Structure 1
Amino acid sequence: MKKAVLLLAVLISFISSQDFKKVGTTGYVFLEIPVSARASALGDASVALFHTGADAIFINPALVGFTSKRHSLNFTFANWLADTKHQAGAYLFKLGNFGVFGVGFVRLDFGTMQGTTNANPDQPGNYVITEPFSADAMAFGISYSRMLTDRFSFGGFVKYVREKIWIYKSDNFVFDVGIIYFTGFRSLRIAGAIQNFGVDSKYIGDTFKMPSVFKLGIAGEILGEHNTPTRLSISVEALHPSDSPEKLNFGVEYTFKNFLSLRGGYKFNYDEENFTFGFGLAGFNIGVPVNFDFAFVNFSRLGSVLRIGIGAEF
Structure 2
Amino acid sequence: MSSGNLILNVPTFPEASQLSGQDTWRAFKDRVDLQVQVRGLKGYLDGSIPKPTSATYVYPAQTPSSVDSHFPSPGEWIQRERMVALIIYLNCTDPVGIGIEKDDSAHKTWQYLVKKYEARDEQWIHLADTALRAQKYNPKTTTMEEHEKKMKNLLKTLHNLGGLCNDYQFRLIVIASMPESWKDYILNVPGIFSTDVFTYLHHLYLDKVGRHAESTDDYIKDKVAALVAQHLASLGTGTTAASVKRECPICINPVCPTKVRHTIDRCWAKGGGAEGKAPKSWRDKHGTKAAASSTSPIDVYVGSSYSPKGSESEMMPF
Q: TM-score, normalised by structure 1?
A: 0.17
RCO comparison, higher one (Cα < 8 Å, 6+): 1
> Normalized per residue, which structure has more helix?
2
- Structure number, greater radius of gyration: 2
Q: TM-score, normalised by structure 2?
A: 0.17
